[in-house]
Structure formats: C-alpha cells, structure tokens
Amino acid sequence: MSPLAERFAAFEEVPPPDLFGDPIGRLPAYRIALFLSDLLPGDTSMLWRTRCPPYIVDQLAKAVDSIRANISEGYSKFSGRERARYYETALCSAREARDWYRRAIPWLGKAEAYERGALVTRVIKILLVAVPQERSGANEYRLRRKFRDGKKEDGRSDSDPDAKP
C-alpha cells in the first residue's frame, strides 16, 4: 500500500470531528474531495518549491477546492435537479483537477500526480452515477415516500413503541 493510500485509509477510519453527525460525511465522493483538499497545502507548497508555473498551481488549487465545495453545496439542496446541477459542476471540476494533476507531473512527481488523479477518478465515477439519479428525482421520491409513510431511516415508524428517541 502506498503512503498516500495509507493516509487515505487512516482518514477514512477517523473522519474529521467537524463531520460527526453530519450525513454528508457518508458520501464517498465528498470524503475523497475533502481528503484531496487536505492534501492541497502540501501539494501547492511542493509545486512552488519546484518552480511550477503559478498558473498551474492556481488552477489546480481552484479545481480541487471546487470539487469539495460543489458537492457540499449541492448536498444541501432539497431538489434533485438543483443537486444534480451542483454535482455536475463538481464533476467538471474533478475532470479539470485530474488534468491539472497530470500537467503538474514534472514538478509534483509522476507517482504523486497519478495517485491523486486516481482518487479524483473515483470521485468522477461516483458523480457520473449520482448526477442522473439526482436529475431523475429518484432520491426525492424515496425521501418523500419515507416521509409520507412516517418511517425513519432505519425503517421503523414514528408510532413504533420500541423506537428510541
């Protein structure tokens, strides 16, 4: 296992404390994007030290942070169409970030750039599935049905005497 894979496994094992209790922490695409954002200060520092052109550093940083920010903002929207729009923007940013990581190979290193690119590709694959689902309203339908039926996420109804508060 590579050092980056070990760091990501440790990150996944103990999520940041500010995410405890927030359902967005269950989204794999968000967790990966958050991890990539956490790597960004070290990556940009390395790029500056190795005299990477400033436009590459700037574009990479903007693209990586945009993935996380758009997933986060989109997750907060109730409408599936609105969520899909933000997730599409995150998808565009993910593809852009992967491209900038490739462009940064001479300064960041081939292994480092490809490992980060592989994480970004995971986000892309997740979003390629999520966008059409959100646009179709599949998740809205599921949530409305749960609300209509009075069931909680674990399947118990509000009138269940064994339900824990």
Domain ranges of the chain: 3-149
Amino acid identity at 13: E
**Model confidence pLDDT, tens digit, residues 73-129:** 999 998 889 999 999 999 999 999 999 999 999 999 999 999 999 999 999 999 999
Q: What is the pTM of this model?
A: 0.82
Alpha helices by DSSP H, listed for 14-104, are 28-49, 54-75, 80-103
Class of domain 3-149: mainly alpha
- Interval 23-55: pLDDT, tens: 999 999 999 999 999 999 999 999 999 999 999
Identify the pLDDT of residue 153.
Answer: 52
| Number of C-beta neighbours around residue 96 at 10 A | 18
Q: Using CB atoms within 10 Å of the CB of residue 162, give its burial: 0 to 12 exposed, 13 to 18 middle, 19+ buried.
A: exposed
3-class secondary-structure state, position 151 = strand
